[in-house]
Structure formats: C-alpha cells, structure tokens
Amino acid sequence: MNGDCCCFERTIFEMQTRKDLLVMERHPFSLTAKQKETINAYIFLVPMLLILGMLIIYPILATYKYTLYNWTGLDEPDQYVGLKNFIIVAKDPYFWNAVKNSLIYTAVLVPIQLTLALVLAVLLNNTYGRMTAGIRSLFFVPVVTTPAIIGAVFWMLLNPVNGPLSQVFGLFGIGNGNLDLLGNPSTALWAIIGVGIWQTLGLNIIYFLAGLQSIPKGLYEAATVDGANGFQKFTQITLPLLRPVTIIVLLLAILGSLQVFDTVQVMTGGGPFFATDVVQTYIFRFAFGGEHVKPAVGYASAAALFMGFLTMGLTICQFFVAKRLRK
Amino acid sequence: MQMGKKKISTASTKMVFLILLGCLNVYPVIWMISGSFKSIEDLFGKGLSLLPSSWNFQNYVEAWVGANFGRYFFNTLIVATSVTVLMVLITAMAGYVLGLYRIPGKKIILGLLALTMFLPGGLTIIPVFRLVHSLGLLDSLAGIILASLSGGLVMYTLLFMSYFGTLNKELAEAACIDGAGFWRTFYNIMLPSVKPMGVTVGLFTFLGNWNSFFLPLVLTVSRPELRTLAVGVYSFFGEYDTQWNLICAASTISLIPVILLFLLLQRHFVEGMAGAVKG
C-alpha cells in the first residue's frame, strides 16, 4: 500500500498515522508504538524458536531419554534399563572396532589431506591470467558433488570386474586386472581413506587460499630484497602467518572425519567383516537394523551419545592445545 | 631480462603441472559423465577410456523415465528450494530482531542458541522421525523439508544477527516513521541491505540440501516415491549394481544443477567458505 508511494500519498499517510497516534494516546488500554514494536519483534522470532525447540532442542533431550531404555523403536519406550546400554556399548568389541576405524580414518586422512591442500593452495595462490579461475575450479568441483554419489562412482571405479582402477593397477602388474580393494578387509579402509582425501581436498584448499590471501604481499617483496629464496619465504613467512587458519582447518577436518558416513555407507556399508565399520555406520546399523542386527534404538542412542561425549572431550582438548599454540 | 624469462618459465611449468593434476583430480567426475553416454558393454569393456564408442543418449531417457530419476530430480529440487527460501527468511527474520532490537528475554534466546552448540547430540534422527510421523508428514515432501530446517538454523541465525548488528538502526526507524509497517520495513528495506549474507546462506543451504543423504534416506524408507536423487542413486545401485551406465546418467543429472550454480556463484561460494576460517 505504501511501499513505493509518491510524495502526495506519503503526506496523507503521515497525517493518518499521526491521527492514529493521537487516538492511541487517548485510550488507556491501547498499545504504545514501542509495545507494538516489541510484539512484532517476538512474532518475527516465532518461526526460528519453533524449529529450534521442535527440531533441535527437543530431539537432543528425547534422545538422552531413549538411551535409558531397551527399545526397538516401535511404539513407546517402556522397558527402563538405566545405564545398562552404556555398559553394553563400552563392552562391545565391535563398537571399539568402529572407534578404532574412525580414528585410523582421521589420523591418516587429516595430515595427508592438509599437507596436499597447503601445497596446492600455495601453487594456486599465484595468478595464471585468464586460466586462474578455471584451474581452481578443477580442484573445487568434488566439494559440491553429492557425497553419496561420489561413493557410488568410486565403487564402480574400484570394482574388481573391469573397474578402471583395477585395470590401471593391472598395467603395473598388481592384481591382474581384478584387484578388489573394497572387498578385501586389509585394503578396504585404505581405499575409503583415499576417497575421503579426494572428496574434501578442495574445501581445505579454499580455506588455505583464504588464509594465504590475507598475508600482506609486501612481506614477500621485502624478503626477496633481502635475498630469501622460495623455500625460506615459505617456512619463514607463509607457515607462521598461516597458523591461526591452520588451527581452525585442523579442527574442522578432524571433526568432519570422525563423522564420516555417506561415502562409507554407500561403498561398503561397513564391510567386509567390519573392516570399514566407522562409528556412524555402527550406530546406523543398530538404529535401523542391518546385517544380522535387529533395530535397537535405545542402544544406538547410547552409542551415539557415548561417541558425542568422546568427540566433545577431544574437541575440548584440541581447543586448549590450540589456545596454547596461538600464544 | 634473464630473470624475467626464468620467472615466466617456472610459472608456466607450475601452470602445466596444476592443469595436469587438476585434470587427474576431476577424472572420476569426467569418467562418470562419459559413462552416462556409454553402452553397458562399452563401460565394462573399455572402463578407462573417456570417449564412448557410440553416444548413447538412451541412458538418460531410461534413467529419467524407467528408473524414476525424473521424479527424484523434482523431489530434490522441491526440497532444496523450499528449505532454502524458508531458511533464509526464518533466520533473517530472527537475526534482524536479535541484531537490531532490545527486547526482554533476548539473553535467554541467545543462551538457548549457544547451548545447542555445546550439548553433545546423540541419535537425534529418531525423535525427529517420530515428530514428523506424529505430524502426519511422513507421506509428503513437507516432512523432509521441515526436518531439514534444523541443519544450520543456529549458525545462520547468528550470522544474520551479527550482519544486521552492523547496520544502522536509523534506517529501519526512518522507514517506520514513513509509515511502513514492521514487516514492510523488514522486507523492503532491511532484507535487501543484507543481500550478500542472504546469497551466502541461500547458496550453502541449497547445496547442503541438494547433496543431503542421511535425512532423506531415513524419512523415505517406506516411501520410495519421495526419494531424493542421492537416496535414489543409493537404492538403485543396491538393486541393480550392474547397470552402471544408468547410475552414471542419474549421477550426472544430479551434478548438473550444482555445477551450474557453482560456476555462476563461484565468488560467493569461495568467499562464503573462506568466511568459516577467517572469522
């Protein structure tokens, strides 16, 4: 009505609002402009608060309750078992196998990926004329690709029967063209780590590029005048100044790796013989049932919360280490 | 002179190296796209090559119609678009009020938001599933849309809050005096002035939901017709793991919109990502 009004309409409207204000002042029970504003402000918060309450806070509290029940997920939880679920989790060798696999995945993936990302970011930080954006895109594309679909594509690439990668290995005399990396318990986790490194490499390159671009160019020029070579500039300028960014990148990479699910679920589902069973696939199997497992939602909730606390502990440790490093 | 030449030659060596490495890096994606045009014999026989011996467009028809990926495409599009629009609107509205207005109870709300970031989450998908079920939304895409609104809600609200906080409140007050109502002031004046943040939040919400797997997987277990592309590829691949060319076609269909979006908004994408470590 009054969004893009001309001057004439505006003056009339102003007169009207002033009249309204006068009218309001006369009624003792009507609201002041300030009160109206506050009510409007609350109305604006309602959608966010509804979703926060219904889909974030309530589920967190509800899942705490489920951990105390023996429950298949059907009907309502009624068989209260106290902390028994947590005890079973802590005693289950398969849970610790999954924790071990998640930790190996993280401990191998993160250092390799971040080193690669840093080196590539330094190289990509140079400009290559009109090619710059194109070259960078080659490294960013996997980041926007659906992880579950990446899982399916790599499953095909790694397939022992005519899969392209097993043919490549065959050329080098490995596996005679039917190398089954995902089907072999001793290699499956390594193949999955390889895919993981590829999948989020571009993301970390972006992070490091952002860090590199915040380093003043003058420092490098001054170092060149002083006769420093490329390697010296990298170790004396780039690395120290990148430290704050590196700490955050490291935290994000570790947290992300501990939560890997999509690619693993699609490529192996945790197999063969639990060789690639990470914590998230373990929890998924118990929550929704899977090979030789009936749904046990109470138990799965306990396992998830157990992992939640382990991760939180780890994050707090990292936080303190990071704080000390920053000084 | 010589220095200059040497510099150019190392720069071009680096460039060639990066291009080669970059091509190797996108090989899996290119292989997938070329596979979508191959016949099944072609894919199994000459797995490595990137050029199909004959261009087979029939795969797309079969994937789109026969394997139902057309339906999955529109499901994904509806879910990702709806979540994006709702998310930007909801978090911008909340961020606007929290960033610019002093209202009683603001501290409690901020406390709640902070709390959710520190509470260790367990298996929250089960209560979410039950909630969607009890609202009678398991039979529709609305259930997936509603459940997906939780991802990023807290972070985006806080981002909008700090962005609105940097704006001048007088702009809003002036608009109010001119007779624009609260909603109008927000929609016509304040929302356009946070456009960069809106684009970033929208882009990441869209990408995240386009690529989402776990939530739609769980919510469509008994409703195959509601599957999104990621869940569709996973299920198809579980049932017909020999029809690689159709999986490739379906995967390519899923990749096209995100690649287009990425190329169009590359700057926003990179800056948004970079913002995560700079702050």
B4 touches A at CB < 8 Å: no
Asked if the Cβ–Cβ distance from B93 to A48 is below 8 Å, we say yes
- Beta strand residue intervals within chain A, DSSP E: 69-70, 79-80
In this predicted structure, the answer to whether residue A27 has a pLDDT above a threshold of 60 is no
CB A286 within 8 A of CB A73: no
- Token pair 């060639």 is found at B16
What torsion do the CA atoms of B120, A92, A187, B233 make, to the nearest 10 degrees? -60
- Record the pTM: 0.87
ipTM for this prediction: 0.87
Q: pLDDT category, A28, cuts 50, 70, 90? A: low
C-alpha R_g of chain A: 28
Best to test chain B binding among A149, A155, A205, A299 (most B CBs inside 10 Å) = A149
Which residues from chain B sit within 8 angstroms of residue A141, using beta carbons?
A: 25-26, 29, 259, 262
Across A75-79, A215-219, A309-313, B30-34, least confident range:
A75-79
* Chain A residues in contact with B231 (beta carbon < 8 A): 148
B116 touches chain A (CB under 8 A): yes
Asked if A309's CB is within 8 angstroms of B153's CB, the reply is: no
Q: Among A91-95, B8-12, B136-140, which is the least confidently predicted range?
A: B8-12
For residue B207, list chain A residues with Cβ-Cβ distance below 8 A.
144
Which uninterrupted H or E stretch holds A324?
Answer: helix A297-326
Q: How far is B67 from chain A (nearest CA, A)?
A: 16
Report CB contact under 8 Å: B273, A210. yes
Rounded CA-CA distance A326/B144 in Å is 42
- Per-residue pLDDT at B251 exceeds 90: yes
Q: What is the DSSP letter of A293?
A: B
Q: Are B244 and B37 in contact (CB under 8 A)?
A: no
Can you tell me the mean pLDDT for A238-243?
90
Strand partners, A70: A79
Task: Note whether B23 contacts A138, CB cutoff 8 Å.
Answer: yes
pLDDT in tens, A270-320: 888 999 999 999 999 999 887 678 888 999 999 999 999 988 888 888 888
- Which tens digit of pLDDT belongs to each residue from B234-246? 998 878 777 888 9
Q: B105-120, pLDDT tens digit by residue?
A: 899 999 999 888 888 8
CB within 8 Å: B96 and A55: no
Backbone angles phi, psi at A290, to 5 degrees: -170, -155
What does the DSSP 8-state code read for residue B120?
P
Mean pLDDT of chain B: 87
Partner residues linked to A293 by β-bridges: A290
Per cent of chain A over pLDDT 70 is 90
Is pLDDT above 90 for B168?
no
Task: Output the CA angle A94-A95-A96, nearest 5 degrees.
Answer: 90
A60 versus B277: the higher-pLDDT residue is A60
Rounded mean pLDDT, A246-274: 91
d(CA A162, CA A180): 11
A295 to chain B, closest Cα gap in Å: 12
Min distance B199 CA to chain A CA atoms (Å) = 16
Question: CA-to-CA distance for A307 and B120, rounded, in angstroms?
Answer: 9
For residue A265, the chain B residue with the least C-alpha distance is: B234
**Listed residue (B18, B62, B12) closest to B36, CA to CA:** B62
